[in-house]
Amino acid sequence: MSPSSAVHDNTAWTNAAPDLSVLIPFYRDDPESLIASLDREAGALNGSVEIVLLDDGARDAALITRLIARIEACDLPIRLISLPSNEGRSIGRNRLADAARGSSLLFLDSDMRPDHDRFLQTWSDLARAGQTAVAFGGFSLLQAPEDARFAVHRSMAARSDCLPREQRALQPEKHVFTSNLLVRRDVFEAEAFDPGFTGWGWEDVEWAMRVSRRFKVEHIDNPATHMGLDTVESLAAKYEQSAPNFARVVARHPDFVSAYPSYRVARRLQTVPGLRAIRPLFKQAARSSLLPVRLRAFSLRLYRVALYAEAI
């Protein structure tokens, strides 16, 4: 832990002996609603689950004050770590793992919401059994906002992220995200997240590729809703950040990536004359509210793949 980080533990933290550590990083997001949702299961868990929160350098004093008040009122053991500056997704999650005491780690994004009232109990039972190396619980859109400005992201997520367990298991490493991911401690000690990834995207899938060469990656049905849907502009900006990360994955794991449609289409697009001039048109189409949502989503996928074609 950084010597300049601030740490706050609630009363339940001191004497807890958890099997499962729930690790929640956040940066300019408010995880208070998620904490409240998780704490509803505290009575049934008997101290078997703790939460470690990481404020990745947002420097939002009002938010931290609210969070401290919230965690003091919680029955679950909770530690809040506040970093003085932003360190990024990979380093932050590695820091969370270092602070955890459980034999298994549950990586959970701050914009997720459990879809049922035995969410933590299901993960805790797997952690206590100790047989599961890695398991992804799945996404849903059950509780996600239905605002028109999020319609494109909702369409894309329903098609590619919110998949049933059987479909995810066909390519287990591809459908791993740190938004709802159980990892046994010895697995994470063997394979941590690569701090060389910066910005948004692919650091979790690259990690799963490495892990799957040594350990079994499982998929179960223990979903949570992804509440943090993005506008087209926000999603496009994330894709722009993710292109160098995609190239990093291609260089390291060509055997996995060569089977992905995004890679195959990107390779084909490399032969298209004037792709760089055409690419902004895909983004423009995705932004147009005059077009059907499915066509806008298709255009945004083309924009992402065109970025990848230039990166590789």
pLDDT at 200: 87
Beta bridge partners of 298: none
pLDDT for 3 equals 55
Longest CA–CA span in the chain (Å) reads 64
- Cα separation, 312 vs 297, whole angstroms: 23
Q: How far apart, in whole angstroms, are the C-alpha atoms of residue 284 and residue 307?
A: 14
Q: How far apart are CA 304 and CA 48, in angstroms?
A: 42
Q: Does residue 1 lie within any of the structural domains?
A: no
Identify whether residues 250 and 307 lie together within a single domain: yes
Indicate whether 209 and 248 sit together in one domain. Answer: no
At 50 the pLDDT is 98
Q: Per residue of the chain (312 residues), give pLDDT as tens.
A: 555 789 999 999 999 999 999 999 998 889 999 999 999 999 999 899 999 999 988 778 899 999 999 999 999 999 999 988 877 777 888 899 999 999 999 999 999 999 999 999 999 999 999 999 999 999 999 999 999 999 999 999 999 999 999 999 999 999 999 899 999 999 999 998 888 888 888 999 999 999 999 999 999 999 999 998 999 999 999 999 999 999 999 999 999 999 999 999 999 999 999 999 999 999 999 999 999 999 999 999 999 999 999 999
| Whole-number Å distance between alpha carbons of 218 and 145 | 29
Residue after which a domain boundary falls, among 229, 248, 266: 229
Q: How is residue 7 annotated by DSSP?
A: E
Distance of CA 17 to the CA centre of its chain: 26
Q: Residue 121 falls within a domain, yes or no? A: yes
Q: Both 225 and 259 in a single domain?
A: no
Any bridge partners for residue 54, and if so which?
25, 81
Look-up of token digits 């799945």: 138
What is the spatial distance between Cα 243 and Cα 199, in angstroms, rounded to a whole number? 10
At residue 1, the pLDDT reads 54
- Shared domain check, 292 and 161: no
Predicted confidence at residue 17, as pLDDT, reads: 93
Which of 229, 244, 278 marks a domain boundary?
229
Instruction: Please state, in angstroms and rounded to a whole number, the distance separating the CA atoms of residues 127 and 138.
Output: 17
Contact 215, 179 (CB under 8 A): no
Tokens matching residue 74: 């919680």
Shared domain check, 185 and 39? yes
The domain of 151 spans 6-229
Tell whether 135 and 123 lie within a shared domain: yes
Nearest of 193, 196, 209, 191 to residue 260 by alpha carbon: 209
Tell me the residue ranges of DSSP E strands in the chain. 6-9, 20-26, 49-55, 78-82, 104-108, 112-114, 134-136, 139-140, 180-184, 217-219, 224-226
Given 196, 229, 262, the domain boundary residue is 229
Looking at residue 71, what is its pLDDT? 95
